[in-house]
Structure 1
Amino acid sequence: MSALLQVEKIDTAYGASQVLFGIDLEIHSGQTATLLGRNGMGKTTTVRSILGLTPARAGSIRFRGNAINSWTADRIARLGIAVVPEGRQIFPNLSVKENLIAFACNRSNSPGPWTLERIYQLFPRLKERARNMGNELSGGEQQMLAIGRALMTNPHLLILDEATEGLAPLIREEIWTCLGQLRDLGQTTLVIDKYVQRLIELADQHTIIERGQVVWSGPSGTLRESPEIWQRYVGV
């Protein structure tokens, strides 16, 4: 079975400073996958390379069978990749409802697409705050809105960069519950976060990077049975 996303041996740099060294990553349709590692190890740069924001200088990136290395970021997005960025980056001067409908489309041609009402069912709090401006929301509400906004594009692949960073424990659990529901619905998702034990229960496949290189990749079962792996590369 061919992968939905296939990243092979990519090198990425900012000017003269190389950050990624031969990164490999593969995600199949319907999988929930993670990209793990300590801060500053290249996780966000990997995502930026996939999205065309910081193009890889070497290697190959294929999505839905297309070689997208040289594509612009907007063209890649239209192919069906949506990102919940670190810091959320919602529109502060638009209401919750306006944030959600601003880029509504059906990029995956889903027969049962995400709509405003479905997002409100997933996150009832957003329905309660529908008329509030983005800058009037709590951090947790902003993260829900960022996830809802990405889902409104009905993507083939949803990427969450630092999925629960800075959120209170109860809100983190609400986000994990949401991601579990998306997994059960068959949404292909790549999650970047630091809560490995929670991610082991949620995801199918994991990739750990250290200093811009893949140091381990495998399924949840193996990672669960080998805590020394993630404690070495992800633990504080």
Structure 2
Amino acid sequence: MILRVDNIETAYGASQVLFGISMQIERGQVATLLGRNGMGKTTTVRSIMGLNRTHGGSIQFNGQRIDGLSADQVARLGIALVPEGRQIFPNLTVEENLVAFAANRCKAKQPWTLERVYALFPRLQERRRNMGNQLSGGEQQMLAIGRALMTNPHLLILDEATEGLAPLVREEIWQCLAHLREVGQTVLVIDKYVERLIRLADTHTVIERGKVVWSGSSEALRAAPDVWHSYVGV
């Protein structure tokens, strides 16, 4: 087990958002966190990353309890986040964005390097001297994923992986995620395209109003379309 979230509760001031969220991810798995907008998915991710303090439950990563750690401490343990909105550095070039925080946090024998990221996203190599604010939304998402991979994390988290992307670019991101699965990267994905996620992921956790309402395998979710129509569909 690489990540174990047990009954976490998180609030913004007096407004509680998470009410006992639990989930777990095994090493090498692709897992998803599903639910409509405003149901607590991003707050769950922010709680895992140490960006929001929990006031109940526990979070363990690689056997170590991490709730209570700061975001930089969590990141150094080997969790990389591709945040909603990408948040790349607009005043750095593509290549500078990629190398700024390069590390080998999982001690990989074949770590992610500039060359590997450029092979995964050839468009980034073409735009390597462009500033971050000169990229399209799709290129920025590729850059955000590449930047996270350059830390060589144990766990990669993508919040709204394909949100707002053109169909062709979205397909490139799905192909990237399929490749990451093939090479054994552990991934947690938040996205709304359940049909694609069923084909990609091993396990799914569905939340509604800060509570887990369903969890299970892709096979189980495929057999229960009422679940994702009720809790994920618009």
Give 3-state SS (helix, strand or coil) of 1:182's partner: helix
Give 3-state SS (helix, strand or coil) of 1:57's partner: strand
Map of 1:1-20 to 2, 5 A cutoff? 3-20=1-18
Aligned partner of 1:157 in structure 2 is 155
Q: Which amino acid aligns with 1:97?
A: E
* Structure 1 vs Structure 2 CA RMSD: 0.4
Q: Which amino acid aligns with 1:162?
A: E
Among 61, 71, 74, the residue aligned to 2:72: 74
Report the CA distance between 1:89 and its aligned residue: 0.3
Matched pairs, number: 234
Distance in 1 of aligned mates of 2:68 and 2:223: 40
Distance in 2 of aligned mates of 1:90 and 1:213: 31
The C-alpha deviation readout for 1:97-154, integer Å capped at 9, x for no partner, is: 0000000000000010000000000000000000000000000000000000000000
Aligned partner of 2:220 in structure 1 is 222
Aligned partner of 2:111 in structure 1 is 113
Report the CA distance between 1:26 and its aligned residue: 0.2
Distance in 2 of aligned mates of 1:40 and 1:183: 28
TM-score by length of structure 2 reads 0.99
The C-alpha deviation readout for 1:148-178, integer Å capped at 9, x for no partner, is: 0000000000000000000011111110000
Aligned partner of 2:31 in structure 1 is 33
Give 3-state SS (helix, strand or coil) of 2:123's partner: helix
Regions of 4+ moved over 6 Å: none
Give 3-state SS (helix, strand or coil) of 1:218's partner: strand
Give % identity.
73
Distance in 2 of aligned mates of 1:191 and 1:179: 9
Query: Gaps (5+ residues) in structure 1?
Result: none
1:128 maps to 2:126: yes
Distance in 2 of aligned mates of 1:131 and 1:29: 35
Among 179, 185, 188, the residue aligned to 1:187: 185
Distance in 1 of aligned mates of 2:200 and 2:155: 16
Aligned partner of 2:207 in structure 1 is 209
Report the CA distance between 1:226 and its aligned residue: 1.2
Report the CA distance between 1:55 and its aligned residue: 1.2
Distance in 1 of aligned mates of 2:70 and 2:228: 34
Give 3-state SS (helix, strand or coil) of 1:164's partner: coil
Among 165, 172, 175, the residue aligned to 1:174: 172
Aligned partner of 2:99 in structure 1 is 101
Aligned partner of 1:60 in structure 2 is 58
Q: Which amino acid aligns with 2:24?
A: E
